[in-house]
């Protein structure tokens, strides 16, 4: 059985007992989380979130990319979020390569100019959290008074370390 077939079967079981169909669209806790796509991170569990509590935006590295910012704009301007949290994590794959490394790997199988691709890797976890928090805070599209904080999730212990507090 293919993995997707197993997932679809799991969904049938989930849907049988699903009782959250009336949860409103705006997140109940008025918060949005930007975090990594790493499969070891389960933000709903490590933050104690339930269906409908928060927007969770995931990408490689949990970066405040253009698309993440787009999602935060929609979240705040249309759906009422007032707080954002950036959560990166220990042992992140984004710490293991440079743009040039991945561009060279892609050049082996893809044609075209790859020099303009920025995969947003980083070499310092705390600095990347600070940079992403600042990028969000400086966006002219965020409502005044929006709180932005940043953290590092430890994949070994499950604990969050504050890098940038809401008042920093």
Work out the pLDDT band at 86, boundaries 50, 70, 90.
very high
Q: Is the pLDDT at 1 greater than 80, yes or no? A: no
State the pLDDT at residue 112: 80
State the pLDDT at residue 161: 98
Q: How many Å apart are CA 42 and CA 54, to the nearest integer?
A: 13
State the pLDDT at residue 115: 81
- Phi, psi angles (nearest 5°) of residue 55: -85, 135
Taking residues 75-88, report their average pLDDT.
97
State the pLDDT at residue 113: 82
State the pLDDT at residue 72: 98
State the pLDDT at residue 114: 81
Taking residues 91-97, report their average pLDDT.
95
Q: How many Å apart are CA 47 and CA 85, to the nearest integer?
A: 11
Structure confidence by residue, pLDDT tens digits, 9-25:
999 999 999 999 999 99
149: Cβ contacts below 8 Å, ≥ 6 apart: 83, 84, 85, 86, 133, 162, 164, 165, 166, 168
Taking residues 85-100, report their average pLDDT.
96
Q: Is the pLDDT at 51 greater than 90, yes or no? A: yes
Structure confidence by residue, pLDDT tens digits, 101-156:
999 888 889 888 888 889 999 999 999 999 999 999 999 999 888 999 999 999 99
What are the chain's domains?
24-164 (3.40.1050.10)
Q: How many Å apart are CA 125 and CA 147, to the nearest integer?
A: 21
State the pLDDT at residue 110: 87
The tokens for 97 are 């390569």
């Amino acid at each position: 059985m293919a993995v997707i077939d197993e997932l679809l079967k799991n969904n049938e079981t989930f849907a049988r007992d699903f009782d959250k169909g009336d949860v409103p669209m705006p997140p109940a806790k008025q918060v949005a989380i930007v975090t990594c796509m790493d499969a070891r991170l389960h933000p709903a569990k490590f933050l104690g979130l339930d269906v409908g509590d928060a927007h969770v935006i995931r990408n490689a590295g949990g970066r405040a990319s253009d698309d993440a910012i787009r999602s935060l704009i929609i979240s705040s301007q249309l759906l009422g979020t007032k707080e954002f949290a950036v959560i990166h994590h220990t042992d992140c794959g984004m710490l293991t390569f440079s743009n040039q490394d991945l561009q060279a790997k892609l050049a082996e199988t893809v044609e075209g100019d790859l020099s303009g691709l920025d995969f947003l890797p980083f070499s310092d976890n705390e600095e990347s959290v600070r940079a992403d928090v600042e990028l969000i805070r400086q966006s002219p599209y965020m409502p005044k008074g929006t709180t932005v904080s940043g953290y590092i999730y430890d994949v070994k212990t499950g604990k969050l370390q504050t890098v940038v507090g809401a008042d920093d």
